[in-house]
């Protein structure tokens, strides 16, 4: 699930743009403090909350996240100008990239299966017959579910002829594939970072925008402002189609935004493709039943934290970012490197990679263009630098990685892909079954993408995947095929 064009992403982008504008102004700290008042001036319409004062209070918290700070156990008495100054003094981003804004969390009711007033108390009682756990009784002529016995299997929901039984969902909890989201005693969402794989699904799922990323935008702008530092942007192929203009205009626009160089991460994807194809062939020769891909940061964390038994089947090949950052660091040892990313998961991967200093999401890049009034479609095309292949530029699409590996394999017909488009509780069960059975249902190459549709559906994307794919296809049609040289 991506944020695409929902109201919450517009609000987040406006806040980020205002933070950037404040940084670029003559009085960064004071103008940051005034952001909630500028967005909700006295007498203005209050679109979301009961009054302008609560709106401002919540906007203040959103600005804190935009400055890169956690919102849990926060000092609400400290004004925003203090946080703005503290962001400048920070030497590295905070460890956990997600944070929850308590005041924005609606305190959703606990997730459960519930019998509504539509229940007719029918004689057949199909719901009671369907329940294998004895969780349903008839009380006052209606079905009632005992929550202590209910396993959430939904068999009663499927059996009810009146659709009287429903699931009361908590969007962030439902979206989390690993059970890292729970409610505290006050009904407020909390993230268990020991379980969290930073996939960002909760960010995209929350309709109140209560789950936020801790932005690194001030850290990046601070380095761009330092004339003694060279700052290099590395952007993922899925950026195409997220913003107006083609890939070559985007390169120019990113340089106009302050970056000294711009590099396509697709060149790293080409290395990933070749290495993964070779590794696949070696593993099959050794008799291994299947191999999974390894380019999705969220999936990698899922395996490390929740299914370590799958490690022996996961490719050891580095991600496209890993190889791109390695090349960039080798050529520019003292440069500051920034990965432009479609998702929050890459923030965690980057913290573990000494060749990547910061991560800027597509949302943040869009906000930077707004703040600097850069019109991408008016930029000249920049065709300098190494371009990625057609296969590499398609990495952000579901099936793209498997197709890339197959295109350079010595015996492509030997590759039988199984594609997981979106890591969910259900698809996680598939992976666990593969480990248990030591088999992959007649397949031997498992491509796993945390986000549905691939990186084009990442939680920090700006466009609907179907629209983004159309723009990306135009680029793919003009790109060269990857050639393998052993």
Per-block mean pLDDT, blocks of 10 residues, the chain (486 long): 61 95 97 96 79 90 95 85 96 91 80 90 92 93 91 92 90 92 86 95 89 96 96 95 94 97 96 97 96 96 97 97 98 98 94 96 96 97 91 95 96 96 94 94 94 92 89 92 85
Residue 304 lies in a domain: yes
CATH of the domain at 299: 3.40.950.10
- What's the distance, CA 124 to chain centroid? 46
Same domain membership, residue 180 and residue 310: no
- Please tell me the predicted confidence (pLDDT) of residue 254: 98
Same domain membership, residue 162 and residue 231: no
What's the CA dihedral at 351, 240, 464, 473 to 10 degrees?
-130
Query: What angle do helix axes 320-331 and 266-285 make, rounded to 10 degrees?
Result: 120
- Please tell me the predicted confidence (pLDDT) of residue 299: 97
Same domain membership, residue 76 and residue 56: yes
Residue 482 lies in a domain: no
Same domain membership, residue 280 and residue 208: no
Same domain membership, residue 243 and residue 138: no
CATH of the domain at 160: 3.30.70.20
Residue 70 lies in a domain: yes
Domain limits for position 149: 112-168
Q: What are the helix and strand counts (H, E) for the chain?
A: 20, 15
**Separation between Cα atoms, residue 439 and residue 444, nearest integer Å:** 8
* Helix or strand holding residue 350 (H, E): helix 345-351
**Separation between Cα atoms, residue 443 and residue 435, nearest integer Å:** 13
- 120-124: long-range contacts, CB 8 A cutoff, minimum separation 24: 120/162, 120/164, 122/161, 122/162
Question: Could you tell me whether strands 445-449 and 291-292 are parallel, antiparallel, or unpaired per DSSP bridges?
Answer: parallel
Same domain membership, residue 93 and residue 154: no
- 84-91: long-range contacts, CB 8 A cutoff, minimum separation 24: 84/22, 84/28, 84/29, 84/32, 84/33, 84/218, 85/29, 87/218, 87/219, 88/28, 88/218, 88/222, 90/218, 90/219
Residue 1 lies in a domain: no
Residue 483 lies in a domain: no
- 323 in Cβ contact with 315 (< 8 Å): no
Same domain membership, residue 375 and residue 301: yes
- Please tell me the predicted confidence (pLDDT) of residue 95: 87
Picking from 212, 219, 256, the residue whose alpha carbon sits closest to that of residue 90 is 219
Residue 2 lies in a domain: no
- Please tell me the predicted confidence (pLDDT) of residue 42: 85
Residue 25 lies in a domain: yes
Same domain membership, residue 229 and residue 200: no
Specify the residue for token string 């932005």: 215
Same domain membership, residue 95 and residue 147: no
Same domain membership, residue 306 and residue 209: no
- Please tell me the predicted confidence (pLDDT) of residue 46: 79
Same domain membership, residue 132 and residue 29: no
Q: How many domains, in total, are found in the chain?
A: 3
Residue 310 lies in a domain: yes
Q: What is the pTM of this model?
A: 0.90
- Please tell me the predicted confidence (pLDDT) of residue 484: 82
Q: Where are the beta strands (DSSP E) in 239-345?
A: 261-264, 291-292, 336-341
- Please tell me the predicted confidence (pLDDT) of residue 386: 86
Same domain membership, residue 45 and residue 148: no
């Amino acid at each position: 699930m991506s944020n695409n064009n929902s109201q919450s992403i517009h609000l987040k982008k406006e806040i980020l743009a205002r933070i950037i504008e404040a940084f670029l102004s003559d009085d960064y700290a004071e103008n940051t403090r005034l952001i909630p008042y500028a967005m909700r001036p006295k007498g203005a319409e209050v679109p979301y909350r009961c009054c302008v004062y609560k709106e401002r209070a919540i906007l203040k918290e959103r600005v804190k996240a935009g400055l890169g700070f956690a919102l849990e156990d926060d000092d609400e008495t400290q004004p925003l100008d203090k946080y703005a100054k503290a962001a400048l003094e920070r030497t590295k981003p905070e460890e956990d990239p997600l944070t929850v804004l308590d005041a924005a969390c609606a305190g959703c009711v606990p997730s459960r299966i519930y019998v509504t007033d539509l229940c007719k108390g029918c004689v057949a009682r199909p719901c009671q017959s369907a329940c294998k756990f004895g969780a349903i009784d008839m009380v006052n002529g209606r079905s009632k579910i005992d929550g202590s016995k209910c396993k959430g299997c939904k068999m009663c929901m499927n059996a009810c002829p009146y659709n009287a039984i429903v699931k009361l969902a908590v969007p962030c909890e439902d979206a989390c594939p690993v059970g890292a989201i729970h409610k505290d005693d006050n009904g407020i969402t909390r993230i268990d970072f020991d379980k969290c794989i930073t996939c960002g699904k909760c960010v995209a799922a929350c309709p109140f925008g209560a789950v936020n990323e801790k932005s690194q935008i001030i850290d990046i702008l601070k380095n761009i402002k330092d004339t003694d530092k060279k700052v290099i942007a590395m952007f993922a192929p899925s950026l195409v189609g997220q913003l107006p203009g083609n890939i070559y205009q985007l390169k120019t626009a990113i340089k106009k935004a302050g970056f000294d160089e711009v590099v396509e991460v697709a060149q790293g994807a080409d290395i990933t493709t070749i290495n993964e194809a070779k590794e696949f062939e070696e593993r099959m020769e050794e008799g291994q039943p299947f191999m999974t891909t390894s380019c999705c940061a969220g999936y990698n964390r899922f395996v490390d934290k929740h299914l370590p038994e799958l490690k022996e089947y996961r490719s050891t090949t580095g991600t496209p970012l890993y190889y791109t950052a390695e090349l960039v660091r080798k050529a520019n040892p003292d440069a500051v490197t920034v990965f432009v990313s479609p998702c929050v998961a890459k923030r965690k991967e980057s913290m573990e990679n000494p060749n990547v200093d910061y991560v800027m999401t597509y949302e943040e890049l869009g906000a930077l263009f707004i703040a600097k009034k850069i019109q991408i479609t008016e930029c000249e095309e920049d065709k300098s630098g190494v371009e990625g292949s057609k296969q590499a530029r398609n990495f952000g699409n579901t099936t793209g990685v498997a197709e890339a590996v197959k295109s350079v394999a010595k015996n492509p017909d030997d590759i039988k892909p199984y594609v997981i488009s979106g890591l969910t509780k259900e698809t996680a069960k598939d992976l666990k079954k593969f480990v248990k059975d030591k088999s992959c249902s007649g397949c031997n190459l498992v491509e796993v993408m945390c986000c549905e549709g691939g990186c084009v559906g990442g939680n920090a994307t700006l466009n609907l995947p179907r629209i983004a794919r159309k723009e990306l296809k135009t680029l793919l049609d003009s790109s060269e095929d990857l050639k393998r040289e052993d």
